[in-house]
A and B are shown apart, each in its own frame.
Chain A
Amino acid sequence: MLWTVVRMDARNVRAEVSAWLALLLLATGVTYAAWSGAAAVHADRQAVATALTEQQTRMRDLQVRLHAVQAGQKQATSTEDPSDPALVGSTLAAVWAVLPQLPLASVAVGQRDLAAARVRITTQGPSGRSLQSDRPMTGPTRLLTGAFDLAFVLVALLPLVIIVLTYDLLAGERERGTLALVLAHPVSLATFVLGKALQRGLLLGSVTLGLALLAVAATVDGPWTSDDAVRMLLYLGTLMAYVGFWFAAAVAINVRGQTSAGNALALIGLWLALVVIVPGIVQVAVQATHPPPSRVELVNLTRAAASEIEAELSDLQGNHGADGKGTPAQNAQAATERLVAVQVALEKRAAPVLQAFGTQLAAQQALVNALRFLSPAIVLQEALGDVAGNGGHRLQQFHSQVDEFGQRWRNFFFSRVSARQRLTVADYAALPQFVFREESLPALGTRVGAGLMGLLLPTLLLIGWAGVGLRRGVRVM
């Protein structure tokens, strides 16, 4: 019997213009978002490639020059001496720390357009980090609006398509007078509703799944590992659970026996609450209880704490090479050593401030993690950011690894400055290299899996509620 209902409803849907239109719009949206996302990822990869090529050439040149200087063929100028550890560490050999793009990167822009995912590492200290990062420049109004990425289509638009397909699931039959007719046949109300919901759910589920797969398949870029397969599964699983949630909500609302206009309003109200209002309130709550640490204050804290040190630093930098006493070489060495000492002191004073800053950011993220269960939309948004590798977690990890690496970089050069050593060819081979350590798969799986549970639980509750309503029966006229 269920199968008969499914087949009947399939014929119904095929005749509905609005259903076709909604599905077409969904397909168009997904296609555009996938294309646009892939283009952005591609441009980003190219920018990284260009930067890395430039870096490679620069490093090779430095080593060639170092060979020449050591062989005595060439005199090094003081501003381009490849054996001067202070100079090489602060400018000549500046390296990029890059957060690699994952194959699923085009799924969600996440925080990548806001937070730095490429940082130029020099010995210049952590307080300047934000200045030395690179990212595509985006006008502030565009950042405010948000990207038209796959995540937007799936989180915000997909539920609307589901609403179009389901708001008159039962009410439409009643309003057309066909519900009484159908129920006069040997079919239970529950079977009828289940059949219809199943048919539309399967239709939309398979279309969404197909589109989501196609979008990713067409845009996947880079090597594919087993970890990526797990991410893919998490992506599709969470997406399907999200679709399930909205279908369950639609059925539950249909069973209440309102008119189709009333259902549409109730569903839009729910959509508004979960996609606009709750995320807005969560953001306000996060801001009120865990105010994002202020960078403005950070600037002053670092500056005030180190004001006299920094003054000395700028004295040294702005001197334009005219100081007076001592031979130029002696002056230069003394100045460099003072500079390093100043920087080490500066860093020591800034460290606790930066530490507190990082802790606060982590606390903020943890709160969002807990509050995301208030809205399936937040769960999906976070999950998509996570699998795309552009979520807050991965970026925060990147930033802490960058800080760590910056420390290693400074130690490498500062130790040589203090020991008055020149850089050798062997030193160049031993330069610290930045390699991003990915979050372990179990940790990612646990977080996204918890989100999945957070989608399935309300879905089950809604189904239960709908079941109770069905058992009580509905108006047929």
Chain B
Amino acid sequence: MIRVIARKELRELVRDGRFQLGGALMVLLQVAALLFGWRHTTAMQAERVAAQTVARSAWTTQGDKNPHLAAHYGMYVFKPAATLAFLDPGTDAFVGVTLKLQAHEQELPHDAAASDGTAVGRFGQLSAAAVLQLLVPLLIIALGFALWSGERERGTLRQLAASGVHPRQLLAGKALGLGVALLLLLLPAVLVAGLALAVGGDAGAWTRFAALVPAYGLYFGVIIAVTLWVSARAASSRTALVALLGLWCATSLVVPRLASDVAGRAVPLPTAEVLARRVHATLAQGLPQGLPREEHIDKISKALLAKQGFAGAESMMDDALLQGLELQAEAEYENAVFDYHVTALLAAMARQERVAQWAAALSPLLAIRSLSMALAGTDFDHHRAFAQQAEQFRRSLVLAMNDDFARNAGAAGWQYKANRQLWQQAAPFALQPPALGQVWADQQVAWTMLAAWMVAAGLGATLAARRMQVV
């Protein structure tokens, strides 16, 4: 029975002018957004890979010099683009991609593409994800607002009720018909995306893509259920349409910006200058509730000595060894300061994101947006992983340089020069994106909310169908 109803609804939809026009436009936009996204992402990735190669060779060919000076010379790293960024560029344009890793300083990634953008950038990006998140729901509303109310207005609902079909079957049939119609429209985009992945995707990208499909399926399920719910409850098709459009505006336009604004207020962040000033002050004076700078460095230095089995034997050690250890003690002190301020900043930003995520209770769009960016590897958590891994890499690089100084400088002291061999020993920076399990855990609020929306909207639609007035 459900199949018969679904087939009838599908046939009607496909013959509808709104479906043909809206659908054609959507397919066009989808495919165009995908192709442009693919071109943009591959170009960006090629550029960053090239830049990374140049930066690497600048490091390895820097010539013979003292290893600590090499740590000062530093190394640039560039954030690699996520493969699925062509589907959902997420925060890509708004985060820094460049980092200089050097002794004594922790940088935050800088050079975000959006800072060189224009006013049109403020309208949001026209990505495949934006089409799916914003436009497809509108299409569902346009196709489905009259599915119940229209039957009632034409008087066919009474006939249906008289025929003894259970309202639940009717509902399932209508939802299925709408879903299949939608599937027809999304198929070309899925094929294009799959083709792109077949060309340039790895196994990880396929897994993430495979996780994206059911996530969006759930989102569209929510929209279909809400549409049928409102259509069943509304007094007329017109009321149903106006209510649904109002809901769309509230959930897609107002709630996201409002939630973002509230999150900004709930978890305030310092300005860049204030942060820099705090870091410098702490570097000079020592951590709050900790030892003053010199004592702290001394303590680390002693611990390092003890670890190497030289405790109390400073006078017997050669100068360079001592100096190398002191440099490392200083670096470790600085790392503690950076941990205190910068890691705290990144954590605060992440907290801000979580606050905004809770607003998904008011807008399913926020849930799917968050999930989609996370699965595409373009959300803030992925960016934070880059910033933190790069910092770890910086620390091990500085450690390796100071270590070489301590071990090999000997009597030459600051005149000691290391060569290419040492530079090449430092492995190139390789970003390890968070594993899917981690993404799943980070996105707990988002997928719980999406599932909750599905349950609530499904229940609402079922109840509304059962209690519907037929005339």
Contact = CB atoms under 8 A, between A and B. Distances in A.
Interface of A is mostly: helix
A135 B91 contact: no
Nearest to B90: A144
B36 A118 contact: no
B126 A281 contact: yes
Given A140-B380, A294-B47, A303 B58 contact: yes
Contacts of A303: 54-55, 58, 76
A322 B69 CA distance: 12
B212 interface: no
Given A310-B73, A311-B63, A137 B352 contact: no
A377 B414 contact: no
Task: Name the residue among A300, A361, A364 with the largest chain B CB count within 10 angstroms.
Answer: A300
Contacts of B33: 284
Nearest to B68: A318
Task: Name the residue among A261, A295, A365 with the largest chain B CB count within 10 angstroms.
Answer: A261
A324 B414 CA distance: 9
Task: Name the residue among B51, B71, B256 with the largest chain A CB count within 10 angstroms.
Answer: B51
A142 interface: yes
A275 B65 CA distance: 57
Contacts of B111: 130, 295-296, 298-299
A137 B36 contact: no
B246 to A, nearest CB: 8
B260 A18 contact: no
A59 interface: no
B354 to A, nearest CB: 11
Contacts of B270: 137
A296 B120 contact: no
A261 B76 contact: no
Interface in B399-440: 413-415
B78 A296 contact: yes
B238 A283 contact: no
A296 B72 contact: no
B353 A286 contact: no
A391 B120 CA distance: 11
Contacts of A314: 69, 72-74, 102
A371 B406 CA distance: 61
Interface stretch (A184-192, A264-272, A421-429): A264-272
Contact of B123 (A115, A280, A292, A361): A280
A298 B95 CA distance: 17
Contact of A320 (B352, B383, B414): B414
B191 interface: no
Given A114-B115, A141-B356, A284-B36, A36 B120 contact: no
A186 to B, nearest CB: 30
B116 A295 contact: yes
A292 B116 contact: yes
B158 interface: no
Interface stretch (A64-72, A146-154, A216-224, A242-250): A146-154
A283 B124 CA distance: 9
Contacts of A299: 51, 76, 98, 111
A51 B110 CA distance: 22
A131 B118 contact: no
B142 interface: yes
A473 B269 CA distance: 60
Interface string A121-144: 000000000110111111111111
A203 interface: no
A110 B90 CA distance: 20
B112 A114 contact: yes
B295 to A, nearest CB: 20
A311 B241 contact: no
A292 B76 CA distance: 21
Contacts of A295: 97-98, 111, 113, 116
Contact of B125 (A283, A293, A315): A283
Interface in B282-323: none
B202 interface: no
A447 to B, nearest CB: 12
Contacts of B58: 303-304, 307
A292 B254 CA distance: 30
B48 A280 contact: no
A229 B260 CA distance: 32
A315 B130 CA distance: 49
A157 B40 CA distance: 31
B193 to A, nearest CB: 17
Interface in A334-393: 361, 364-365, 368, 371-372, 377-378, 381-382, 385, 391-392
A54 to B, nearest CB: 8
Interface string B61-104: 01101101101111010100000000000110111011000110
Interface string A143-177: 11111100010001100100010011000000100
A411 interface: no
B69 A319 contact: yes
Contact of A279 (B48, B115, B123): B123
A464 to B, nearest CB: 25
Contacts of A32: 258
Interface of A: 18, 29, 32, 36, 47, 51, 110-111, 114-116, 118, 120, 130-131, 133-148, 152, 156-157, 160, 164, 167-168, 175, 259-261, 264-265, 268, 272, 275-277, 279-284, 286-288, 292-300, 303-304, 307, 310-311, 314-315, 317-320, 322-324, 361, 364-365, 368, 371-372, 377-378, 381-382, 385, 391-392
Given A141-B380, A295-B98, A303-B76, 17 more contacts: A139-B380, A144-B93, A261-B145, A265-B241, A279-B124, A287-B40, A292-B116, A295-B113, A300-B55, A310-B73, A318-B66, A318-B69, A319-B69, A364-B116, A364-B118, A377-B123, A381-B120
24 contacts: A130-B115, A131-B107, A135-B272, A138-B264, A140-B91, A141-B260, A261-B145, A261-B237, A280-B130, A283-B125, A287-B40, A292-B116, A292-B117, A293-B116, A296-B47, A299-B51, A300-B76, A304-B58, A318-B66, A320-B414, A365-B118, A371-B120, A378-B123, A392-B118
Q: Which 8 A-B pairs have the closest CB atoms?
A: A280-B126, A318-B72, A279-B123, A295-B111, A134-B273, A140-B91, A143-B94, A140-B94
Interface of B: 18, 29, 32-33, 36, 40, 47-48, 51, 54-55, 58, 62-63, 65-66, 68-69, 71-74, 76, 78, 90-91, 93-95, 97-98, 102-103, 107, 110-126, 130, 134-135, 138, 142, 145-146, 237-238, 241-242, 245, 249, 253-254, 256-258, 260-261, 263-264, 269-275, 345, 349, 352-353, 356, 373, 379-380, 383, 413-415
